[in-house]
Structure 1
Amino acid sequence: MMIGFDYGTSNCAVGVMEHGQPKIVNLPAHGTLMPSTLYSPDRDIIVSWLYAQLTPSEQQAFKTLRIIPLQKGQKALRELALDGLSSELSFGQQALANYLEEPEEGYYIKSPKSFLGASGLKQPQIDLFEDIVAAMMSHVKQQVESSLGREVNQTVIGRPINFQGLKGEESNQQAIAILTNAAKRVGFSSIEFQYEPVAAGFEYEASLSTDKRVLVVDIGGGTTDCSMILMGPAYIHSNDRSKQLLAHSGERIGGNDFDIQLAFRGLMPNLGATSQLKSGKPMPTNSYWQAVAINNINEQTAFYSAANGRHLDMLQRDAEHPELVSRLIKLYREKLSYQLVNSAENAKISLSTEPSNTVDLSYIEHALMQTLSIEGFQQACEKELQAIGRLMQDCVKQAGCQPDVVFVTGGTAKSTVISQYIEQQFPGVELVIGDHFGSVTAGLTRWAERIFK
């Protein structure tokens, strides 16, 4: 059976075709969307959990590839058993709940897709990300098969124009290899990829009665991708859409970046980011940025290093308001980076429908609160908004024509600040807001039926 699989930075979703229309599959443990998160009681047991999900023939091949990690995993499993702790992995909202229960324990990762194109990864790191992705895909596949009562072995997986990474096509190839290896490992025999903005456009195309030039703007959790595509009745049945894809552009700007900026500019002042040293000089902000840069392996590694712990102690001694820096030290000691950025993300979501939102920071200090406004959010994310504007204009310039329609999709585009900014860039052009979370999945599902059927 064939599926469209949106393995997204923020959420995972799967679609199947029923009666000629795409239908988003209900995942029994999650609903139609599973947040792209994983929690493990110990990082070393991820490989062992994945091994247990594989078929006997795949287990044998996997054991050869991961002999040392599997040995470490078995040791970690024995230690968890001796301590009477669970060895089960959790995904989606349950993963977040387990992390928030004890942030300093276990291993939590949000948006692993953000790291797949990262530069400088050594083979053990690539193997770890491959196993994380495979574990998530295995769980989703099991959920889909449980929901449908059928085996799933063919899939079209969405991909951004450019994955997050500094090495261009080399980063893209690395990410695609990780996704392909992971999908094959968990039982997908036929795997194809489709650009996410193109897939989102397919779903919109199904509603068109005339041909149009459509600028698809897909603002996801990790990237923003733009494609100028010829769409309509004259093209919809084609199996090769390369001639209708007039231009595309993409960059590492997405919902995570908006969350991080809001956390840095809106919440970090409570931890001393805008305070001063006793000397009268401004507080150095490098550690504050590293603390919230949850989509950057190097920044997070640097922040949680022992050397940075000593640096934070020094900052507290030199600070005019040491009580503020003590809050940053608590974040460091209890590994609260994800929780702080999650607070900013929840505020961003609320600001889509409300003019202000009060953030509860009591996990940092009792009764600590911060009110954020929609104006503050706009100011915090001005750089990201301008970058999205440049991407759209670059796509138009490449295509050599103006769009008849701007079709916007992706969960991040749900923000009125973002949708209004896009509308301002194309005055007089029809703006269509798609299904924020379902357009890509539906388009991937339509493409899966077209190519596999």
Structure 2
Amino acid sequence: MTALSCGIDFGTSNSSVALNKDGHVSLVPVEQTHVTIPSAIFFRRVDNKPFYGRTAIHLFLDRQDGRFMRSLKRVLGTSLMKNGTVVNGATMNFATIITSFLKDLKDKADAVAGQEIENVVMGRPVHFVDNDPEADTRAQAELKAIAQRIGFKNIDFQFEPIAAAFAHEVNLTGEKLAIVVDLGGGTSDFTVIRLSNQFIHKPDRTSDILANTGVRIGGNDFDKELSLAAIMPELGYRTTYGPKQLEVPLKPYHDLAEWSKVNFLYTPKTIMQTRQLLHQSHDKKRYGRLLHVLEHETGHTLLAAAEGTKIALTAQEEHDAPLDFIESGFSIPVKRTLFDEAIHEEVQKIAASARQCLQEAGVKQHAIELVILTGGSTEVHSVKNEFKRLFPNATIAEENKLSSVGLGLAYDSQYKFGQHSTRPVETNSVNV
């Protein structure tokens, strides 16, 4: 009988699937030839048909009529899962939306496998929700229910940084004490772990995993801080209005700077309030740009400009953020130094979580021999510099940044569900 299982990395920004078939692990093309897909969905208004990934993003940016969503993972464990959202005039719950996205991934994996896959290891952050164990447990239960809904029979979970470690381990020679730095769109997670290619077939890795920590800060938070620091001031952020020189309401700007909140802004009430304040604004040109974005529902385009600027600043010292969808020829020059200042506090919180992981593992910084960087946010200049500073003597591994978690989950599935595995299957556990 074929030993068949898979690993699914449902990420805040990007997702991937890796297949384990008869002990051979490989990534599944999930969008044309791409082995990763943006975690985005677009429901076309005319028929409510869903589109995924890059296609969803292109349809939205081409101003097709419909509803666009990203950062769906951040909804797990929150009240929004029950409340749902309006999609093309009708209420839809988020379990249905996430199910649609993950079923598309499973269908593609099934097609490559040539049969239906029943066994999966799902990735999960160390904390779905910070400082709320009940919400964290609820988030995993919600994700498990969705996995069952799309056809998986046996479902296990693994921390994402541990999965990333498993993906790198196959290429090691000798034993290494490593820290995995997994910085995604929504969370930053860390694992201190002993790795060796001699450990790959061990059925139980509990003794090798020394500590896990995590904090709910990621690339989406970098987008937000960059937007508030560099872009929103040109839309009237922190300007004043009226005879008492009151500061304009800040909430619309903060919501416009978060992928998961943008769609909740396009209400008649918010637009009416913004129009009323515009008459009293002391900076009508800039504040008028905010009204333009709300009236034309281009908040996601605004966030895409912030995200594109973040990505550009990984290689450039300065980048012009294109905002010509607001005004013809309008752009904002943004320096990397401003971006570094804007995210300084977030980077320090991320570094503090990494140091906490070392402390819980009983390991000194100089003892770390390997730093495994995974997740797109590790490309950010100040983040990379911070971890080089923390671990100056360690080798830095950066291979397969966007797909290593998916690969590692599939390797883990091999021992949880493989025909030669001696590890007992616990279908609702996280191995730590």
What is the TM-score normalised by the length of structure 2? 0.87
Which of the numbers 172, 194, 200 marks the counterpart of 2:164?
200
Is residue 158–residue 444 contact of structure 1 (8 Å, CA) maintained in 2?
Answer: yes
Distance 1:189 1:395, change over 3 A: same
The residue identity in structure 2 corresponding to 1:330 is H
The amino acid that maps onto 1:12 is S
Q: 1:121 to 1:131 in 2, by over 3 A?
A: closer
Q: 2: CA distance between counterparts of 1:449 and 1:335? A: 46
Distance 1:340 1:417 in 2: 23
1:28 Cα offset (Å)? 5.0
Residues 90-121 of structure 1, C-alpha deviation per residue, up to 9 Å, x if partnerless?
11111112222337x42211021111122475
CA distance in 2: counterparts of 1:295 and 1:7, whole angstroms: 16
Which of 31, 42, 51 is matched with 2:34 structurally? 31
**2:331 is matched with which residue?**
369
Mapped to 2, the partners of 1:317 and 1:379 lie a distance apart of 34
3-state DSSP class of the match of 2:206? coil
Offset at 1:145? 2.7
1:421 counterpart (359, 370, 386): 386
In the alignment, which residue of structure 2 is the partner of 1:8? 11
In structure 2, do the counterparts of structure 1 residues 96 and 446 end up closer, same or farther at CA, with 3 Å as the change threshold?
A: same
Secondary structure of 1:365's aligned partner: coil
Q: Which runs of 5+ in 1 are unaligned?
A: 43-84
| Structure 1 residue aligned with 2:251 | 286
1:116 aligns with 2:119: no
Q: Once the 2 structures are TM-superposed, how far is the Cα of residue 391 of structure 1 from its aligned partner?
A: 0.7
Q: Is the 8 A contact 2:314 2:381 kept in 1?
A: yes
**Residues 420 and 124 (structure 1), Cα distance of their counterparts in 2 relative to 1, 3 Å cut:** closer
Q: What is the deviation of 1:233?
A: 4.4
Partner-residue secondary structure (3-state), 1:294: coil
Q: Is the 8 A contact 2:77 2:142 kept in 1?
A: no
Match of 1:239 in 2: 203
Q: Distance in 1 between matches of 2:370 and 2:381?
A: 19
Determine the C-alpha separation between the residues in 1 that align with 2:82 and 2:117: 32
Asked if structure 2 preserves the Cα contact closer than 8 Å seen for 1:30 and 1:92, the reply is: no
Query: For the Cα contact (< 8 Å) 2:130–2:215, is it kept in 1?
Result: no
Match of 1:228 among 189, 192, 195: 192
Give matches, 1:50-199, under 5 Å: 85-102=46-63, 105-119=65-79, 121-122=81-82, 128-163=93-128, 165=129, 168-199=132-163
Residues 278-357 of structure 1 mapped to structure 2, 5 A cutoff: 279=243, 280=245, 282-296=247-261, 301=264, 303-357=265-319
Tell me the amino acid that sits aligned with residue 56 of structure 2.
Answer: A
C-alpha separation between the residues in 2 aligned to 1:274 and 1:442?
45
Contact 2:82 2:94 in 1 (8 A): no
For residues 157 and 92 of structure 2, what CA distance do their matches in structure 1 show?
Answer: 21
Question: For each residue in 1:362-400, what CA deviation from the matched residue of structure 2 results, as whole angstroms up to 9, or x when unmatched?
Answer: 111221111222212111211211111111111111111
Q: Which amino acid aligns with 1:102?
A: R
Kindly indicate whether the alpha-carbon contact (under 8 Å) linking 1:220 and 1:254 is maintained by their aligned counterparts in 2: yes
Q: How does 1:40-59 map to 2 (within 5 A)?
A: 40-42=43-45
Q: Which residue identity lines up with residue 314 of structure 1 in the other structure?
A: Q
1:129/1:178 contact within 8 Å kept: no
Q: Which moved more, 1:311-320 or 1:363-372?
A: 311-320
Which digits, 9 at most, give the CA deviation of each residue in 1:162-190, with x for residues without a partner? Answer: 01x35622122221122111111111112
* Equivalent-residue separation in structure 2 for 1:335 and 1:177 (angstroms): 34
Alignment of 1:382-393 (within 5 A): 382-393=344-355
Query: Per the alignment, in what secondary structure is the counterpart of residue 328 of structure 2?
Result: coil
Which stretch of structure 1 is more off in the superposition, 423-432 or 336-345? 423-432
1:71-97 CA distances to partner (integer Å, 9 max, x unpaired)? Answer: xxxxxxxxxxxxxx3442111111112
Conserved in 2, the CA contact under 8 Å of 1:247 and 1:398? Answer: yes
Instruction: Single out whichever of 440-449 and 416-425 deviates more from structure 2.
Output: 416-425
Q: Go from structure 1 to structure 2 and tell me whether the alpha carbon gap of 1:325 and 1:127 turns closer, same or farther (over 3 Å shift).
A: closer
Alpha-carbon spacing, 1:335–1:28, altered in 2? closer, same or farther (3 Å): closer
Partner secondary structure for residue 282 of structure 2? coil
Match of 1:50 in 2: none
Per-residue deviation, residues 122-155 of structure 1 (Å, max 9, x unmatched): 3667981211111111111222233443322221
Structure 1: which amino acid aligns with 2:66?
G
Provide the aligned length of Structure 1 versus Structure 2. Answer: 406
Q: Percent identity?
A: 28
CA contact (8 A) 2:71 2:259 kept: no
CA deviations over 1:266-297 (Å, ceiling 9, x no partner): 1112211143446555544332112212235x
For residue 78 of structure 2, what is the amino acid of its counterpart? A
1:451 aligns with 2:416: yes
1:209 aligns with 2:209: no
The correspondence of residues 269-280 of structure 1 with structure 2, limited to 5 A, is 269-277=233-241, 279=243, 280=245
Q: Shift of residue 355 of structure 1?
A: 2.1
Partner Cα distance (1:432, 1:146) in 2 = 32
Gap change, CA 1:293 and 1:36, over 3 Å in 2: same
Structure 1 residue 412 corresponds to structure 2 residue 377: yes
Report the Cα distance in structure 2 between the residues aligned to 1:353 and 1:21, rounded to whole angstroms.
36
CA contact (8 A) 1:27 1:147 kept: no
Give, as a single letter, the amino acid of the residue that structure 1 aligns with 2:62. Answer: E
Q: 1:226-280: per-residue Cα shift (whole Å, max 9, x none)? A: 1111222453322222222211111111111111211221111221114344655
The 2-side partners of 1:106 and 1:413 are apart by 33
Structure 2 residue matching 1:434: 3-state secondary structure = coil
